[in-house]
Amino acid sequence: SAVISQKPSRDICQRGTSLTIQCQVDSQVTMMFWYRQQPGQSLTLIATANQGSEATYESGFVIDKFPISRPNLTFSTLTVSNMSPEDSSIYLCSVEEGWGQETQYFGPGTRLLVL
Amino acid sequence: RKEVEQDPGPFNVPEGATVAFNCTYSNSASQSFFWYRQDCRKEPKLLMSVYSSGNEDGRFTAQLNRASQYISLLIRDSKLSDSATYLCAVTAGNEKLTFGTGTRLTIIP
């Protein structure tokens, strides 16, 4: 499977600031996704990062709060904007290898704490 | 009703025992099914896909019951290293994974 890296691996941020998380894949992939995993919870899909077009957001998530870029088939960023303590979470990117296979592999995650 | 439901556990099982978990899903149009394993403070790792005919990988067996809308995971001869949270995930053919909340398993020496 593809090798996925995320930067930063963790950060502590002040409320009201923004953080951009990077996801890099070692091969071209069709689908990339961003998830959030709040403490003690399961994973919730934030959005699908579409190459060359705007991301597709899930219910409860909006572009102003979580702008996403996908400039090519190996890279994506997620920004958490105007952070509050409720944004403290692990943010994970995932990729789907092969068209229509629906099998996703996850990056190591970014642990975010907002004070 | 949640889209995907799992018993959160914890399941505390002696080493060498057999343990099984179920995961129910509410969307009858669901098409693809997966089990992931997540260790503490790590990302989920794909354990196995679940096919209509069921599938086996070493000590792990996954089954799908479409009529009752659940998938199962059986672990035989459990090892200490099997201790983790097991997440089931389901898609409805739209490439979006919906995860259960996970079942925590601890293997006791």
- Of the two residues A101 and B63, the one the predictor is more confident about is B63
Tell me the per-residue pLDDT of A50-64, one tens digit each, with 9 for 90 and over. Answer: 888 889 999 999 999
Confidence of residue A97 (pLDDT cuts 50, 70, 90): confident
Residues of B in contact with A42 (CB under 8 A): 87, 99-102
Taking 70 as the threshold, does the pLDDT of residue A101 lie above it? Answer: no
pLDDT of residue B79: 97
Three-class DSSP category at B81:
helix
Give how far Cα B74 sits from Cα of A1, B19, B56, B82, B102, Å: 24, 6, 9, 12, 15
Cis amide leading into B10 (omega within 30): yes
Instruction: Retrieve residue B47's tokens.
Output: 């354990």
Q: What is the pLDDT of residues A20-73, one digit of tens each?
A: 999 999 999 888 999 999 988 889 999 999 888 889 999 999 999 999 999 999
Under 8 Å CB-to-CB from B53, ≥6 apart: which residues? none
- pLDDT score, position A70: 95
- Whether the pLDDT of residue B57 is over 70: the answer is yes
Rounded to a whole number, what is the distance in Å from the CA of A99 to chain B's nearest CA? 10
d(CA B97, CA B87): 11
CB contact under 8 A, B44 and A106: yes
Tell me the residue length of chain A.
115
Q: Nearest by CB to A92, from B34, B43, B102: name it.
A: B43
CB-based contact A42 B101, cutoff 8 Å: yes
Is the peptide bond prior to A8 cis by the omega test (within 30 degrees of 0)? yes
The answer to whether the Cβ–Cβ distance between A45 and B100 falls below 8 Å is no
Q: To the nearest whole percent, how much of chain B has pLDDT over 90?
A: 79
CB-based contact B32 A42, cutoff 8 Å: no
- What is the tens place of the pLDDT at every residue in B66-90? 999 999 999 999 999 999 999 999 9
Q: Which class for A64: exposed (0-12), middle (13-18), buried (19 or more C-beta within 10 A)?
A: exposed
Q: Please check the confidence at residue B13 and state whether its pLDDT lies above 80.
A: yes
Chain A residues whose CB is inside 8 A of the B101 CB are 41-42
Cα distance between residue A63 and residue A88, in whole Å: 18
Query: Which strands, in side-by-side order, build the sheet including B4-6?
Result: B4-6, B19-25, B70-75, B60-65, B55-57
Identify which of B32, B49, B96 has the shortest CB distance to residue A45: B96
B94 φ/ψ angles, rounded to the nearest 5 degrees: -110, 15
Are B60 and B75 spatial neighbours (Cβ–Cβ below 8 Å)?
yes
β-sheet bridge partners, residue A102:
none
Residue with tokens 């399961």: A42
pLDDT of residue A98: 63
